[in-house]
Structure 1
Amino acid sequence: MTASIVIVTNPFEPVTSRSVHAVEAGITVGALLLDCGIAEDCWPDGPEILIGGMAVPVGIYAVRAIGDGEVVTVIRWPQGGGGGGGGGGKNPMRIVLTIAVMVAAIYLGPMAAVAMGYTATGTAAAMATAGIAMVGSVLINTVIPAPKPSMPSLNWGGSGSAPAPSPTYSIQAQGNQGRLGQPIPVIYGRHLIYPDLASEPYQDYVGGEQYLYQLHVIGQGEYAVEQIRIEDTPISSFEEVQTEIVPPGSPVTLFEPDVVTAAEIAGQELVAPNLVASGDDGFIGPFTANPVDTTAGALGIDVVMPRGLYYANDGGSLDSRTVQWQVEARAIDADGAAVAGWSVLATESHSAANNTAIRLSFRYAVSPGRYEVRLKRLDTKDTAERAGHEIRWGALRAYLTGQPDFGAITLLAVKMRATDNLSQRSSRMINVIATRKLPVWSAAGGWSAPQPTRSIAWAFADACKADYGAKLADARIDLKTLATLDAVWAARGDSFDAVFDTSMTVWEALTRIARCGRAVPIQQGGIVRIIRDAPQTMPVAMFGPRNIVKGSFKIKYVMPGDDTADAVTVEYFSSRTWKPDETTAKLPDSQGDNPAKVNLFGCTAKDHAQREGLYIAANNRYRRRLVTFRTELEGMIPTYGDLVAITHDMPRWGQGGEVIGHQGDVLALSEPVEWTEGATHYLALRRRDGSLAGPFRVQAVPGDATLVRVLDPLTVTPYVGGSEERTYFSFGPGQAWAQSARVLAIRPRAEQVEIVAVAEDSRVHVN
């Protein structure tokens, strides 16, 4: 003897804030409230109590007993206006929220949401609708749309101008490059990335050795770096390479990161006084050291003696030669006009008896500002054929003051010494294997500190919350569902490992993340939710001839043809090779001769790809009956992806009608029912709140086809009066008492609601 208590704590979120409990029948409403900790003097301003959809007056709370099988709804309304609650005054807030709840229940399919700019320079708006997606060789996808077909570079379209090829997913574009105007990469899970250059690399010479300095962007946020490599070789194999991981907000200490190299310097020779043309002052330059709106705190130059310094004497040995030069600089303004006179930074000289190239770097501190620099040779050049006495200006650098603000990104600083072990190509093939650190949410503890994770749920939450994502508050994200699904995905071994390095909308990013977990994002009542296609056993609502609008019931059978796919080839990015790979999934009785090809972005494991391929193949075969019908406002009870029971005589999906009489365990039905010999028959009843009771085992009453005897205890008392709708029933043998279907769309149609659903089949959920 039990009753059901439905508690709605937040009318703005009637689905997620709803909880269902069982209580002993016979308890009074007042006793129930006292058990919930609501004192008697709080009843007038407390929650509203509905039994069977009818409000219970506050004055009878103490005596109104809850009967067996009754459904009690407890709704806590925000107070406003008049007396509110049970005090008799009007509550305008209650009326407004009632309308808001109805509007929140209306949903136009899984993609009906405003798209938000994700790793892009602007915000794009787009609307999409649910339907049947067809890719490759005619692949039918209903509840969860299939991944998009592959493109040549695994780079699907973005917003605005065409995006640059991904340096991670495009084999032809792999390498370190400066991608001006492109998004800063966002990595989720564990992945390999060829990091972009955060600034222009530069080089100098120390003790005759050439050093190359490169600063790379690993990605937005924090990361646990597992390995740094040059192509396929760990960087630890190169003794001449030093690296530093720079977390967000930390300074680069391995070298100065903000250095500008003047492009105008191209090895100009410093002309000696004995060779200077008449009227020439002998200076090379001036050349601007740093751009407008930058401040240099030091200047650096490189000089090169390409033939060395020597004189080959008659004895076959080398005599030394010396070269001298002068470095001058002056401050300039944004227009390039001088704001001070020339000052001598240094007068340098170098002697050697060496016939190999000599390269030297010099650095000079200056007052912060913008500068131009010029050089002049001071000594006389030995022009003999036996002499190497030439000097050229190799480079001009400006070391800018302070550290640049890179924002909340992780950097990789690399310092390389030029040796035979490194080539120019390999120096631009640095890659990193890293795992993203993200906060993890729990109902008990809230958000944790960032930790390495490959979770689909927390990647989804980050895309919703982050500044490079939708910038949503926690209240606008269905965190409880994400926490529940995180446990499901962890048990299955499903993860999301991907690099977002091209422009796209937030909704496209959320769709890709969710799809890797066999889910889809929806926006409902201003809250971003995620729905996973999982097996469901209990329908949330029942629809039959009595609550389906006459003439609105339609079934579309999507028939297979010669071009229908009989297998699915799933492309994924393998974590074994860090290259694109694929696997073909087919059902046991399929030939697999005509596979459809899809790309599962974020999947890096073959077994994960195989599971999703089998799911798509099963969905393609078994979900081919689309049902459309209209009903009244009870059509707002289910939401996208919910399981509903449909009874209709046109496709012979059970038999339905009303209960017109009830005496003991015998029910009188409005329609005669047909019995199948040798089968066990079941009858399901619709509760007053639209949910399903049963099904219950029944047997025929001899002599009257409109009577059935219920063999199982009834958990609901059928209403057979005339002041409201009678209790509806569905009847049939075995599982044929109704057809289970998954809701695809709910559309308002004036005072009616149109529901689109697909007939469910448990074989879809085998994998």
Structure 2
Amino acid sequence: MTASVIIVTNPFEPVTSRSVHAVEAGMTVGALLLECGIAEENWVTGPEIRIGTDMVSADVYALRVIGAGDIVTVIRWPMGGGGGGGGGKNPMRVVLTIAVMVAAFYGGAALAPYVGSAFAEAGIGLTMEAATAIGAGAITLAGTALINTVVPAPKPSIPSMSWGGSGAIPAASPTYSLQAQGNQARLGQPIPVIYGRHLIYPDLACEPYQDYVGGEQFLYQLHVVGQGEYEIGQIRIEDTPISSFEEVQTEIVPPGGEVTLFDPDVITAAEVAGQELIAPNLVASGDDGFVGPFTANPVDTSAGALGIDVVMPRGLYYANDSGSLDARTVQWRVDTRPIDDNGDPLAEWAVLGNESRTAATNSPIRLSFRYPVSPGRYEVRLKRLDTKDTAERAGHEIRWAALRATLVGQPDFGPVTLLAVKMRATDNLTQRSSRMINVIATRKLPVWSETGGWSEPQPTRSIAWAFADACKAQYGGKLADARIDLKALATLDAVWIARGDSFDAVFDTSMTVWEALTRIARCGRAVPIQQGGIVRIIRDQPQTIPVALFGPRNIVKGSFKIKYVMPGDDTADAVTVEYFSSRSWKPDETTAKLADSAGDNPAKVNLFGCTAKDHAQREGLYIAANNRYRRRLVTFRTELEGMIPTYGDLVAITHDMPRWGQGGEVVGHQGDVLALSEPVEWTEGAAHYLALRRRDGGLAGPYRVQAVPGDPTKVRVLDPLTVVPYTGGSEERTYFSFGPGQAWAQSGRVLGIRPRGEQVEISAVAEDARVHVN
């Protein structure tokens, strides 16, 4: 059981700043605040807590238990004011409290129907009182949402409810957030998992670095494409293929491979940032003239080489009287010594190199030097050795631009695909464009068949094998094959391929495995369920033969209920499906409406994993038809035969209250004539049918029948019977369902099966074939 938590972070804007979360019932208010990142010492001065309309005082936070169905409102008020230092009464709090109370008084009851509809869409049933409490507490304005009974929209996992702080809020997706697109080092965030074919701005696998070769600057970047193996279709800088840039080299490194394009594990010391090396003739008295020392590599690392960058920003020259340039020379020394993890030296200073440079140019000179060292941790210092020419005509300056440490060996990046990029700085490349590298990749996954088992990984956009991978992978459910319904996945894979349905998406933010499975299945008009420890996937598709028959003889008396969801002025008459277009690799949308709909009031639905307009259009038409034609929700109780169907199965329901056919028992059988326990009514001019329940609970028929003159309790069967009706008294007799045409019973899709002691409660939605027109 769950409770609902409404967090209002800005009382000035209670609607736009609110967020709704589902939490497990049974936790205390104090535990909720701790999950929100509010320490116990801040409870008194922290947010205001209300359960329903009652305020909870801070002294009982650790004791007050949140019950099932409770509505908890958390309001963060502005701090300070009143009495100075925040210690007295807060007039702003008083004003805001009055404002919220007035708004709640007038708005809560009026908004209750809308709040109830919105929560029903999320799968949370609310009474009118609870809906009013939410409307009053958060001033929630919500319109009537779509009904999506058999394949509901995925429910997001509970996000971080912290007010802020390090690591509290997940980083934005660099794929689906246009503002966040670019190559980033997303520390602490998930390594992306790509399914199907998709564009991705790969994350940085390690810190980029740069050096100078022949006076030209090179930038080295190592990216993580994603977990697993991929077929790289195209590498681009923004929208331009990388082949258009001659100064860029790339290397694709499969899982377990090594980077050969450059050294991947290089650390650049942040402390070195262009310090000038002071010449001996300018060194202050008592100064040794050294710049540094600076630590090259951090604790618990071992460097195998050290790199130094020096820059002569004005060049090296002397402008003589004739207007030409005379040469100047600069000399410097590089020293290093090993240190331990505490930064204490392990040996005396040693000279890594004595370097010099002579030139006659006023263009900047940039040089890089690499020195192999014995593996260890080091600090480095530099010293200028020559006398500086301080004349106005001279350019004779040297600066220490960078210190790098190349670590020993290659890091273990795990089972991921890497992209190594080496770029030479030119006019074609800017600092921004160097961080806009993207790839269009297709995931390689094993494909399962009943005869051959699992294949080698191959490029695929299949919904089925993305679902299987999310179940099996270490970053997913870690399930064995025996716990996945692979036969059903193989069957549905053929259906999806024939329809052109695929799943193309990037999972680069945190979520539960079940939410990921739900998103994958939803793209194929399906939902995941767990049954007997096995993960199954159920697609909402046409079914012609009910798996069970329920009528007056096996529906518990008084348990049959029908809920009619009546449309109103705010009911959506069309569906706008948001998807990520594979043509532009940007968010797009398409509106689907039924032929006789005006489409004036569309509802928006996001179809994660859809990248094709025709796929989005099909799903939009399905949702629109579902919204119109599935508006009768049925609940009833039966005995243990209620365990025969499962979620999504088609069942036949006969009941006299809504006049869904006529039902009873077969009490006699002679030849093609059946004697029934109840007299049946005939409709003139219509063909009539009769269905029988098998001993295993399944359905036989329906069979065409005609009346036996003079006896309304008997019918003559015109089609060959495939079962022999049981009419004895040692077990239940054979049940029947009778009616004209298709009205011999109402078919329903099972939405829920719940044990109720020795009985079983079944929830279903009345089926309509028009839902499956596409």
TM class, shorter-length:
0.7 to 0.9
Matching residue of 2:694: 687
Tell me what 1:311 maps to.
318
Q: Indicate yes or no: 2:550 matched with 1:543.
A: yes
Match of 1:268 in 2: 275
Q: What's the counterpart of residue 197 of structure 2?
A: 190
C-alpha separation between the residues in 2 aligned to 1:516 and 1:159?
26
In the alignment, is residue 762 of structure 1 matched against residue 763 of structure 2? no
Q: Which amino acid aligns with 1:621?
A: R
| Equivalence map 1:147-158=2 (5 Å) | 158=159
How far off is 1:661 after superposition?
1.1
Matches within 5 A, 1:642-653: 642-653=649-660
2:409 aligned counterpart, secondary structure: coil
1:592 aligned to which of 579, 599, 609: 599
What is the deviation of 1:196? 0.4
Matching residue's letter, 1:209? E
Provide the secondary structure at the position in 1 that maps to 2:546: coil
Task: Give 1:591 deviation, angstroms.
Answer: 0.3
TM superposition shift of 1:618: 0.2
Cα distance, 1:455–1:461 mapped onto 2, change above 3 Å: same
SS of structure 2 residue aligned to 1:705: strand
Work out which of the residue numbers 478, 481, 505 in structure 2 matches 1:471: 478
1:533 to 534, 540, 547: 540
Kept after mapping to 1: 8 A contact 2:334/2:354 = yes
Deviation, structure 1 residue 682? 0.6
The alignment status of 1:399 with 2:406, answered yes or no, reads yes
1:490 CA drift (Å): 0.2
Say whether the 8 Å CA contact 1:146–1:616 is kept in structure 2: no
Aligned to 1:435: 442
1:634 counterpart SS class: helix
Deviation at 1:266, TM superposition (A): 1.0
Correspondence list, 1:39-50, <5 A: none
The one-letter amino acid paired with 1:725 is E
How far apart, in 2, do the equivalents of 1:479 and 1:714 lie?
Answer: 36
Partner of 2:508: 501
Match for residue 376 of structure 1?
383
Alignment of 1:737-752 (within 5 A): 737-752=744-759
Q: How far apart, in 1, do the equivalents of 2:120 and 2:646 lie?
A: 16
What amino acid maps onto 2:394 in structure 1? A
Q: Residue type matched to 1:297 in 2?
A: G
Instruction: Give 1:563-642 correspondences, 5 Å limit.
Output: 563-642=570-649
1:83-122 alignment runs, 5 A limit: none
Q: Equivalent residue for 1:285? A: 292
C-alpha change, 1:407 and 1:305, in structure 2 (3 Å) is: same
Residue 218 of structure 1 pairs with residue 225 of structure 2: yes
Deviations for 1:72-128, whole angstroms, at most 9, x for unmatched residues?
xxxxxxxxxxxxxxxxxxxxxxxxxxxxxxxxxxxxxxxx9xxxxxxxxxxxxxx99
Change (3 A) 1:196 1:157: farther
Kept in 1, the 8 Å contact 2:687–2:740? The answer is: yes
Quote how far apart the aligned CAs of 1:457 are.
Answer: 0.3
Please state if 1:456 is matched with 2:463: yes
Q: By how many angstroms is 1:156 displaced?
A: 8.2
Aligned residues of 1:159 and 1:504 also touching (Cα < 8 A): no
Q: Does 1:356 align with 2:328?
A: no
The superposition leaves residues 114-150 of structure 1 with CA deviations (integer Å, 9 ceiling, x where unpaired) of xxxxxxxxxxxxx99x9755896421110111357xx
Measured against aligned partners, the alpha-carbon deviations of 1:230-252 in whole angstroms (never above 9, x if no partner) come to: 00000000000000000000000
| Aligned position for 1:163 | 170
Structure 2 partner of 1:300: 307
Structure 1: 5+ residue stretches without partners = 1-111, 113-126, 149-154
Matched, 1:675 2:682: yes
Separation in 2 of the partners of 1:132 and 1:193?
32
Instruction: Determine helix, strand or coil for the equivalent of 2:652.
Output: strand
Normalising by structure 2, we get a TM-score of: 0.81
Work out which of the residue numbers 544, 553, 567 in structure 1 matches 2:560.
553
Write the deviation string for residues 550-586 of structure 1: whole angstroms up to 9, x where unpaired: 0000000000001100000000000000000000000
Match of 1:89 in 2: none
Contact 1:133/1:142 (<8 A) preserved: no
Residue 510 (str. 1) matches residue 510 (str. 2): no
Alpha-carbon separation, structure 2, partners of 1:137 and 1:550? 34
Query: Aligned-pair distance for 1:535?
Result: 0.2
The structure 2 residue matched to 1:422, chosen from 416, 423, 429, is 429
**1:162 Cα deviation (Å)?**
2.2
The CA deviation at 1:588 is: 0.1
Deviations 1:345-376 (A, max 9, x none): 01000000010111000000100000000000
* Correspondence list, 1:648-667, <5 A: 648-667=655-674
Q: Tell me how far apart the structure 2 counterparts of residues 158 and 414 of structure 1 sit (CA, whole Å).
A: 35
2-structure distance, mates of 1:450, 1:281: 62
Report how many aligned residue pairs link the two structures: 636
Q: Once the two structures are superposed, what CA deviation does each residue of 1:205-234 show, in whole Å capped at 9, x if it has no partner?
A: 000000000000000000000000000000
Distance, in Å, in 1 between the alignment partners of 2:184 and 2:690 is 68
- Whether contact under 8 Å (2:143, 2:570) holds in the other structure is no
Which residue of the other structure, out of 209, 213, 216, is the alignment partner of 1:209?
216
The residue matched to 2:389 in structure 1 has which SS?
coil
Instruction: Give SS of 1:179's match.
Output: coil
1:158 Cα offset (Å): 4.5
**1:729 has 2:736 as partner:** yes
Q: What is the percentage of aligned positions where both structures have the same residue?
A: 86
Structure number with higher relative contact order (C-alpha < 8 Å, ≥ 6 residues apart): 1
Residue 706 of structure 1 aligns to a residue whose secondary structure is strand
Determine the structure 1 residue equivalent to 2:179: 172
Shift of the 375–132 alpha-carbon distance from structure 1 to 2, 3 Å rule, reads closer
Aligned to 2:499: 492
Query: 3-state SS of the aligned residue for 2:518?
Result: helix
Q: Aligned letter for 2:432?
A: R
Tell me the equivalent position of 1:120: none
Shift in Å, 1:430? 0.4
Where does 1:232-247 land on structure 2 (aligned, <5 Å)?
232-247=239-254
CA distance in 2, matches of 1:754, 1:156: 28
Q: Distance in 2 between matches of 1:197 and 1:449?
A: 28
Query: Is 1:192–1:431's contact at 8 Å kept on the other side of the alignment?
Result: yes
1:157 positional shift: 6.2
Distance 1:239 1:507 in 2: 45
Partner amino acid, structure 2, of 1:323:
V
> In the TM superposition, what is the alpha-carbon distance from 1:752 to its structure 2 partner?
0.3
Equivalent position SS for 2:559: coil
State how far apart, in whole Å, the 1-side matches of 2:541 and 2:440 are: 33
Counterparts of 1:445 and 1:390 in 2: how far apart (Å)? 71
CA distance in 1 between counterparts of 2:120 and 2:542 reads 21
8 Å contact kept, 2:316–2:328:
yes
**3-state SS in 2 of match to 1:596:** strand
CA distances 1:617-667 after superposition (whole Å, capped 9, x unpaired): 000000000000000000000000000000000000000011111111111
What runs of 5+ residues in structure 2 fail to find an aligned partner? 1-23, 25-67, 70-118, 124-141, 162-167
Partners of 2:442 and 2:397 in 1: CA distance: 52
Report the CA distance shift for 1:133/1:619 in structure 2 as closer, same or farther (over 3 A).
Answer: farther
Q: For residues 588 and 193 of structure 2, what CA distance do their matches in structure 1 show?
A: 22
- Over the residues paired in the alignment, what is the CA RMSD in angstroms? 1.7
Aligned residue number for residue 711 of structure 2:
704
Contact 1:183/1:502, CA 8 A, preserved across alignment: yes
Provide the rounded CA distance (Å) in 2 between the counterparts of 1:207 and 1:136.
65
Asked if the contact 2:693/2:735 (under 8 Å) is kept, the reply is yes
Distance 1:502 1:146 in 2: 18
Distance 1:132 1:284 in 2: 66
Closer, same or farther: CA 623–587 of 1 in aligned 2, 3 Å: same
CA distance in 2, matches of 1:669, 1:594: 50
Secondary structure of the equivalent of 1:531? strand
